[in-house]
């Protein structure tokens, strides 16, 4: 690794003595070994034809063992990832695989985003849709819908914390719902001048980004918007994805750049060009997803290239690979399992061999 860690060395919330450097180095070495030898260390699966349209929403929960997918076919599918039966002698493109559960009538519009409160021990998953609703699904009891929240406009993004669900709307509003108080919003905010494209949480705060090329911060304890109109550094691109942890806030944009913001005061710091800006005749590389580990970073272009980097300053790439299907919509990574949804009506998984082998004993 040639860069410095953490990406911002002068953070008030970061103390060198608090970092377990041994664990971090082990994680970095393990990740590098896995992805630099991906054909030997993981099983790559491509699941097609369960969804008959673009798979726009993917989430991994329960230590990566459960995946929920949704898309433009308006259905939701639940997968027990480690129960997928794999024959080493057949192609990894699976066209006749059935999900553990499927809801063909989940929504009346495209399913655009998914969220849960705790990815490691999730009981409920929330789906945001163009049918003007966010729905709550019990994934441990029949995959039943247990609440429908009324948004009155297309819901493009969703995030959940405690007993609350926040939906980012096409109408520039953010709605807050309390799952104990029924289907109507408890609060309405309008921190942007364009559709709300992504939401994420860190500690007691929620970040939102919009087509208006700004970032806003909401305090869940105070119940109010802390900051608005934090501008993106580029006038050419708009923000599409978010990743926020103790060390950094990254915002991926529609032109292949990853913008670093201070995770504490939310000020813009610098921009990293992960993909060169395309010529006027070529499609841009939109950063469809970004995931931060302790010392590592995974970013994916909608054109299908996945980059593996050290979370340093600047980010240091040690591996890249290409998806088998085209136009990636979302990327999720949890407990060593990587999942992406694509416009090719497909889900792709990379599952570590030791997890598959242990499950099949």
Find the mean pLDDT for residues 245-270: 95
Please state, in angstroms and rounded to a whole number, the distance separating the CA atoms of residues 328 and 240.
Answer: 13
More confident of the two residues 269 and 91: 269
pLDDT band at 345 (very low <50, low <70, confident <90, very high): very high
Predicted confidence (pLDDT) at residue 358 exceeds the cutoff of 70: no
Task: Report the pLDDT value the prediction gives residue 357, as an integer from 0 to 100.
Answer: 64
Residue-wise pLDDT for 154-186, tens only, equals 999 999 999 999 999 999 999 999 999 999 999
| pLDDT > 60? residue 360 | no
Identify any residues that bridge with 215 across adjacent strands, giving them in sequence order.
209, 230
**Beta carbons of 275 and 244 less than 8 angstroms apart:** no
Give mean pLDDT, residues 263-274. Answer: 95
Grade residue 338 by pLDDT with cuts at 50, 70 and 90. Answer: very high
- This prediction has a pTM of 0.94
- CATH classification (class only), 16-359: mainly beta
Map residue 15 onto helix, strand or coil. coil
Look at residue 3 in the predicted model and tell me its pLDDT. 66
How would you class 108 by CB atoms within 10 Å of its CB: exposed for 0-12, middle for 13-18, buried for 19 or more? exposed
Residues with Cβ within 8 Å of residue 149, at least 6 apart in sequence: 133, 134, 135, 136, 165, 167, 175, 177, 183, 184, 185
C-alpha to C-alpha distance for 357 and 352, rounded to whole angstroms: 9
User: What CA–CA distances, in Å, run from 269 to 128, 198, 231, 250, 272?
Assistant: 31, 20, 12, 10, 10
Whether the Cβ atoms of residue 107 and residue 135 lie closer than 8 Å to each other: yes
Give pLDDT tens digits for 64-113.
999 999 999 999 999 999 888 776 655 588 888 899 999 999 999 999 99
* 26-30, 238-242, 356-360: least confident range: 356-360
Instruction: Give CA–CA dist 233/271, Å, rounded.
Output: 8
Average pLDDT value for the chain:
92
Give the model's pLDDT for residue 52.
Answer: 92
Q: Can you say whether the dihedral through the CA atoms of 193, 195, 197, 202 is positive or negative?
A: positive
Could you give the angle at the alpha carbon of 329 between the alpha carbons of 325 and 334, nearest 5°?
A: 95
Give residue-wise pLDDT tens across range 271-280: 999 999 877 7
CA 287 to chain CA mean position, Å: 11
pLDDT at 313: 85
Question: Please, which pLDDT band fits residue 195 given cuts at 50, 70 and 90?
Answer: very high
Quick: pLDDT tens for 112-132.
Answer: 999 999 999 999 999 999 999
Mean pLDDT, range 282-286, rounded to an integer: 87
pLDDT for 361: 44
Digit-coded pLDDT (tens) for 4-54: 777 877 776 666 666 777 888 889 999 999 999 999 999 999 999 899 999
Spatial distance between the Cα atoms of 192 and 187, rounded to a whole number of angstroms: 15
Give me the pLDDT at residue 84, please: 83
Domain residue spans in the chain? 16-359
């Amino acid at each position: 690794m040639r860069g410095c860690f953490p990406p911002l060395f002068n953070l008030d919330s970061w103390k060198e003595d608090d970092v377990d450097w041994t664990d971090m180095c082990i994680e970095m070495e393990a990740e590098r070994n896995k992805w630099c030898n991906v054909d030997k260390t993981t099983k790559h699966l491509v699941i097609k034809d369960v969804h008959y349209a673009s798979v726009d929403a993917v989430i991994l929960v329960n230590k990566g063992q459960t995946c929920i997918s949704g898309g433009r076919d308006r259905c939701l599918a639940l997968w027990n990832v480690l129960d997928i039966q794999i024959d080493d002698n057949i192609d990894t493109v699976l066209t006749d695989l059935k999900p553990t559960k499927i809801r063909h009538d989940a929504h009346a519009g495209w399913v655009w985003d998914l969220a849960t409160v705790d990815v490691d021990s999730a009981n409920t998953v929330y789906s945001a849709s163009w049918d003007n609703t966010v729905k709550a699904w019990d994934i441990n009891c029949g995959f039943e819908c247990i609440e429908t929240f009324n948004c009155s406009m297309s819901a493009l993004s969703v995030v959940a914390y405690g007993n609350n669900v926040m939906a980012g709307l096409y109408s520039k509003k953010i709605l807050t719902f309390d799952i104990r108080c029924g289907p109507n919003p408890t609060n309405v905010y309008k921190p942007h001048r364009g559709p709300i494209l992504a939401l994420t949480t860190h500690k007691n705060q929620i970040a939102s980004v919009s087509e208006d090329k700004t970032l806003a911060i909401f305090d869940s304890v105070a119940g109010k918007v802390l900051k608005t109109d934090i501008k993106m550094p580029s006038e050419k691109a708009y923000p599409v994805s978010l990743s926020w942890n103790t060390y950094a806030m990254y915002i991926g944009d529609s032109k292949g750049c990853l913008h670093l913001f201070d995770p504490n005061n939310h000020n813009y710091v610098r921009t990293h060009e992960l993909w060169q800006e395309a010529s006027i005749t070529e499609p841009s590389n939109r950063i469809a997803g970004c995931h931060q580990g302790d010392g590592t970073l995974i970013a994916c272009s909608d054109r299908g290239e996945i980059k593996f980097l050290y979370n340093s300053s600047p980010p240091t790439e040690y591996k890249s690979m290409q998806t088998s299907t085209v136009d990636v919509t979302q990327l999720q990574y949890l407990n060593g399992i990587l999942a992406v949804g694509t416009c090719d009506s497909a889900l792709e998984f990379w599952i570590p061999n030791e997890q598959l082998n242990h499950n099949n004993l």
